[in-house]
Amino acid sequence: MTNPAFKPWILGLTGGIGSGKSAAAQHFIDLGVHLVDADNAARWVVEPGRPALAKIVEHFGAQVLQANGELDRSALRRLIFQDPEQRRWLETLLHPLIGQEIISYLARAESPYAILVSPLLVESGQYKMTQRVLVIDAPEQLQIQRTMQRDSTSEEQVQAILKAQASREQRLSHADDVLINDRDPAWLKSEVERLHHFYLTLRGGQP
């Protein structure tokens, strides 16, 4: 039976592109850990019928809507690209809403701890919503190789994304735990299992 007073502590899970965040997250899900992805929360807050979408349309006009009433992300991206003032306007609107969305989702979690997966955990300040941070880390060359294979994209494109993200040093400076994902998938799985058993011993994310 669930105990209404029970509140899971929150683990932040992050890593650069191609580090293996999503693969690690899937292993935690398989172990029964409840999880929310910040990228999904960012999509949910602009779904049709949500107040943020109405505000975006009021600000930018109907050009940011698709025919079916959903947000046209690429149109919006084009509008804020190279316009820092508009970008800031959008971030000021969405940032707190995404935070609230994550909090309300995690409030319903019923595993002993719950996970916030966010590629930009450090950059966005979302790490402040967590009690502990796990960084998935891999040598840059492996990150590039894996992303090129996954997304059939060029090395230059991956490099550009890497450059826009926090540096490995910035990310690691916020880490409580680091999983070095430089071996095969079985190793990643066994490391996630090891960390999971450790996390089950923690209260509030601390030993």
Among 188, 191, 192, 195, binds ligand ADP (CB under 6 A): 188
As measured in angstroms, the least distance from the Cβ of 23 to ligand ADP is 4
Q: Which is nearer to ligand ADP, 22 or 86 (CB)?
A: 22
Among 51, 125, 185, 204, binds ligand ADP (CB under 6 A): 185
Q: Which is nearer to ligand ADP, 90 or 175 (CB)?
A: 175
Q: Which is nearer to ligand ADP, 156 or 184 (CB)?
A: 184
Selection from 118, 138, 137, 140 nearest residue 129 by Cα: 118
Residue 141-160 contact track with ligand ADP, rule CB under 6 A, x = bound: -----x---x----------
The span from the CA of 191 to the CA of 144, in Å, is 22
Count of residues that bind ligand ADP according to CB under 6 A: 15
| 3-class SS letters over 36-70 | EEHHHHHHHCCCCCCHHHHHHHHHHCHHHECCCCC
Residue 21 within binding range of ligand ADP, rule CB under 6 A? yes
Tell me if 53 sits within 8 A of 46, measured CB to CB: yes
As measured in angstroms, the least distance from the Cβ of 73 to ligand ADP is 19
- Rg of the chain on CA atoms, in Å: 18
Q: Which is nearer to ligand ADP, 36 or 90 (CB)?
A: 36
Q: What is the DSSP string of 145-170?
A: HHHHHHHT--HHHHHHHHHHSPPHHH
Q: Which is nearer to ligand ADP, 100 or 154 (CB)?
A: 154
Tell me if 205 sits within 8 A of 177, measured CB to CB: no
Enumerate the β-bridge partners of residue 12.
116, 133
Q: Which two tokens stand for residue 26?
A: 């899937």
As measured in angstroms, the least distance from the Cβ of 148 to ligand ADP is 9
**Interface residues toward ligand ADP, by CB under 6 A:** 15, 17-23, 146, 150, 181, 183-185, 188
